Chain A
């Protein structure tokens, strides 16, 4: 799996710089007109670690990873998700049926659902959009523009990756030597640098092989399998009937035989 071909925009998050101020959450909610209790962006971490006075805490800003091979898009039965050539994974509420399979499929737990909306209001999925209204007008996404410590950055994915690796090289004592999202499940458009194990930021360990390649292979095989299986079943039905006919005539002959003898 190579991610050389990915040439588009991305985010870079540096956990060593995040001070858990949550300004990104406010900025996102204001920009996208989302109530705070349905925020598209959140801060996660395992809380305070260690014993006083050696305390440690790491936090991560979490929102849509804008995967190269989005599981949500692969899983959605009605194709409500799409991946733009320049990065964003977006959701179309107009076709969504509210099945919530995307929430199961997403390994990062990104899509949210309106559990408080009935039939009249309509219950939909919501998630980070990468602020198309801003990025297509030459601005950075709202969370990036607001971040006071430059923990969040935005730019060309290739350049951000270069920057990330340079930062690791310059501070080998500080960072874990890995950019999360560079290769994970075929690459994401949200790259993460950290000083604590990525698991402590809520990021699962992943293979480079996107899992939806497996399910999509299964789906591709469905029609050929169905046709082949139908042919096999029809053949079995035919053969079974022929065998049973033969058996029946054989037993009929046997039963008929003593009768004819008796007549004679």
Chain B
């Protein structure tokens, strides 16, 4: 059979005109690549402030903990459409799955920079340690990235005018839908379980054996927030109609998700007898309340008002609080609330560095990866049939 390589109208517009915004992205990517090359040549210490006391820093907090959480929009909306059969939300599926897929690819690239032995990433599949939560996270992220690629492949095939294959994949996609939601549930929650092993380092306002439950609920919360943010941004950037009538429903659902989160969080603190720490832990109390205020209370206050849900602008602002607050919370639990025991006069001196602050090249690597992701989304939105409209649903 001869392969039909006719291209979709959109794809024929190659090569791409490079806009000033794209040049900025490219500059970020170049800075990130240079930093990463220095790291691969001279070691992690050459470009980062990571140390004996802080083996994990900005890369893990931002790229892994925030990156995976922000990719939760894909499984949230896929579950709503394919499992709860809420067909009206179908127009949001493709952009969310693409955001998720690019997000996970970004996480994997970032981890390759952070790993001491990036060329041995396959060891996770061969030398499996079944007691390790990180093993579970690693395998789930690998599998789920593959599932997202399969879920997104019909869009690319349609772009290549291979509608028959695209239709076949779509027809048999249900097992992948279930697999994707199960894998997401597992690794979104396991990112929390990963911290259970640090009870003597993570502050008791954050440490609890039910961290996986909190992580899963907050992943759904930020998944809904990300769909609103990403839909609004695409609507502005690509002149697509904004599906406010759908997004406002997501915002209302998010109010209940956020309330659930707050109830679980404070019940846990009460049962563990840690309520007094809410006001007596100094900077940790401050971090805790900032996280709760920005990530939970403000979004609840905004999204619970119909007037705010109806207006695309205020809806977007509410979603920004959801996403920002979630990121702040993930930074807390994976970095800021992790304390080194009382500073000791260690010998040798390299061990007494108990402060950590990300360096410029460290941040450049992460931002370079984000810029590459944004650029890829941009290109996909321009050249692939990414946006379906409500009437097609």
Give the interface of A toward B (CB within 8 A): 22, 25, 36-37, 39, 42-47, 71, 73-80, 95-101, 103-105, 107, 109, 112-125, 199, 202, 204, 206, 211-212, 214-216, 218-219, 222, 225-226, 229-230, 233-234, 236-237, 240-241, 243-244
Measured CB to CB, the closest approach of chain A to B216, in angstroms, equals 11
Q: How far is the CA of A98 from the CA of B129 in the complex (A)?
A: 15
Asked if residues B83 and A233 are in contact (CB atoms below 8 Å), the reply is yes
> For B124, what are the chain A residues with a Cβ–Cβ distance below 8 Å?
77-78, 97
The interface size of chain B toward A, counting residues with CB under 8 Å, comes to 69
Contacts A74-B197, A98-B115 given: A44-B345 contact, CB under 8 Å?
Answer: yes
Measured CB to CB, the closest approach of chain B to A110, in angstroms, equals 10
Asked if residues A22 and B116 are in contact (CB atoms below 8 Å), the reply is no
Q: How far is the CA of A74 from the CA of B129 in the complex (A)?
A: 8
Asked if residues A122 and B46 are in contact (CB atoms below 8 Å), the reply is no
Measured CB to CB, the closest approach of chain A to B186, in angstroms, equals 6
> For A104, what are the chain B residues with a Cβ–Cβ distance below 8 Å?
55-56, 197-198, 201
> For B15, what are the chain A residues with a Cβ–Cβ distance below 8 Å?
none
Asked if residues A219 and B342 are in contact (CB atoms below 8 Å), the reply is no
Asked if B51 is at the interface of the complex by the 8 Å CB criterion, the answer is: yes
Asked if residues B131 and A116 are in contact (CB atoms below 8 Å), the reply is no
**Interface positions of B from 79 to 135, Cβ below 8 Å from A:** 79, 82-85, 87, 114-121, 123-124, 127-135
Which residue on chain A has the smallest CB distance to residue B135? A77
Asked if residues A44 and B85 are in contact (CB atoms below 8 Å), the reply is no
> For A76, what are the chain B residues with a Cβ–Cβ distance below 8 Å?
129, 132, 134
> For A241, what are the chain B residues with a Cβ–Cβ distance below 8 Å?
85
Contacts A39-B348, A44-B346, A202-B341 given: A219-B198 contact, CB under 8 Å?
Answer: no
20 further A-B pairs in the complex, CB-CB below 8 A; given A78-B123, A80-B127:
A37-B348, A37-B350, A75-B133, A75-B197, A77-B124, A78-B127, A97-B120, A98-B117, A98-B118, A115-B45, A116-B43, A119-B41, A123-B44, A124-B117, A204-B200, A219-B130, A233-B79, A237-B82, A237-B178, A240-B84
> For A45, what are the chain B residues with a Cβ–Cβ distance below 8 Å?
344-345
Q: How far is the CA of A44 from the CA of B348 in the complex (A)?
A: 9
Q: How far is the CA of A124 from the CA of B43 in the complex (A)?
A: 11
Asked if B297 is at the interface of the complex by the 8 Å CB criterion, the answer is: no
**Interface positions of B from 26 to 44, Cβ below 8 Å from A:** 39-44
Q: How far is the CA of A234 from the CA of B85 in the complex (A)?
A: 12
Q: How far is the CA of A98 from the CA of B201 in the complex (A)?
A: 21
Measured CB to CB, the closest approach of chain B to A76, in angstroms, equals 6
Asked if residues A116 and B344 are in contact (CB atoms below 8 Å), the reply is no
Asked if B218 is at the interface of the complex by the 8 Å CB criterion, the answer is: no
Contacts A42-B351, A234-B178, A237-B83 given: A99-B116 contact, CB under 8 Å?
Answer: yes
Q: How far is the CA of A204 from the CA of B52 in the complex (A)?
A: 17
Instruction: Scan B240-280; emit 1 where CB is below 8 A from any A CB, else 0.
Output: 00000000000000000000000000000000000000000
> For A75, what are the chain B residues with a Cβ–Cβ distance below 8 Å?
131-134, 197
Question: Per a CB cutoff under 8 Å, which of A25, A37, A96, A215 touches B131?
Answer: A215
Question: Per a CB cutoff under 8 Å, which of A79, A118, A234 touches B40?
Answer: A118
Question: Per a CB cutoff under 8 Å, which of A39, A46, A118 touches B345?
Answer: A46
Which residue on chain B has the smallest CB distance to residue A81? B129
Q: How many A-B residue pairs have CB under 8 A?
A: 200
Asked if residues A226 and B346 are in contact (CB atoms below 8 Å), the reply is no
> For B118, what are the chain A residues with a Cβ–Cβ distance below 8 Å?
98, 119
Which residue on chain B has the smallest CB distance to residue A47? B345
Give the interface of B toward A (CB within 8 A): 39-46, 48, 50-53, 55-56, 79, 82-85, 87, 114-121, 123-124, 127-136, 138, 174, 177-179, 181-182, 185-186, 193-194, 196-201, 209, 212, 341-342, 344-348, 350-351
> For B46, what are the chain A residues with a Cβ–Cβ distance below 8 Å?
116, 118
> For A95, what are the chain B residues with a Cβ–Cβ distance below 8 Å?
120, 123, 127
Question: Per a CB cutoff under 8 Å, which of A44, A98, A215, A222 touches B197?
Answer: A215
Which residue on chain A has the smallest CB distance to residue B202? A104
21 CB < 8 A contacts A-B: A46-B344, A46-B345, A75-B133, A75-B197, A76-B134, A78-B127, A78-B128, A99-B115, A100-B55, A113-B44, A115-B51, A118-B41, A123-B116, A199-B341, A199-B342, A202-B344, A218-B193, A219-B132, A234-B178, A240-B85, A244-B85
Q: How far is the CA of A49 from the CA of B161 in the complex (A)?
A: 77
Measured CB to CB, the closest approach of chain A to B135, in angstroms, equals 4
Measured CB to CB, the closest approach of chain B to A217, in angstroms, equals 9
Asked if residues B345 and A219 are in contact (CB atoms below 8 Å), the reply is no
> For A100, what are the chain B residues with a Cβ–Cβ distance below 8 Å?
55-56, 116
Measured CB to CB, the closest approach of chain A to B137, in angstroms, equals 8
Measured CB to CB, the closest approach of chain B to A50, in angstroms, equals 15
> For A22, what are the chain B residues with a Cβ–Cβ distance below 8 Å?
347
Contacts A46-B342, A214-B196, A237-B82 given: A115-B186 contact, CB under 8 Å?
Answer: no
Question: Per a CB cutoff under 8 Å, which of A73, A98, A233, A236 touches B182?
Answer: A233
Asked if residues B136 and A97 are in contact (CB atoms below 8 Å), the reply is no
Contacts A118-B43, A222-B136 given: A211-B199 contact, CB under 8 Å?
Answer: yes
Which residue on chain A has the smallest CB distance to residue B194? A101
Measured CB to CB, the closest approach of chain A to B194, in angstroms, equals 8
Asked if residues A124 and B348 are in contact (CB atoms below 8 Å), the reply is no
> For B347, what are the chain A residues with a Cβ–Cβ distance below 8 Å?
22, 25, 42-44
Question: Per a CB cutoff under 8 Å, which of B82, B178, B341, B351 touches A230?
Answer: B178
Q: How far is the CA of A37 from the CA of B178 in the complex (A)?
A: 51
Asked if residues A219 and B136 are in contact (CB atoms below 8 Å), the reply is yes
> For B174, what are the chain A residues with a Cβ–Cβ distance below 8 Å?
237
> For A118, what are the chain B residues with a Cβ–Cβ distance below 8 Å?
39-43, 46
Asked if residues B348 and A123 are in contact (CB atoms below 8 Å), the reply is no
Q: How far is the CA of A214 from the CA of B116 in the complex (A)?
A: 28
B53, B128, B197 — most chain A CB neighbours (10 Å): B197
> For A117, what are the chain B residues with a Cβ–Cβ distance below 8 Å?
43, 116
Measured CB to CB, the closest approach of chain A to B28, in angstroms, equals 23
Which residue on chain A has the smallest CB distance to residue B197? A105
> For B198, what are the chain A residues with a Cβ–Cβ distance below 8 Å?
104-105, 107
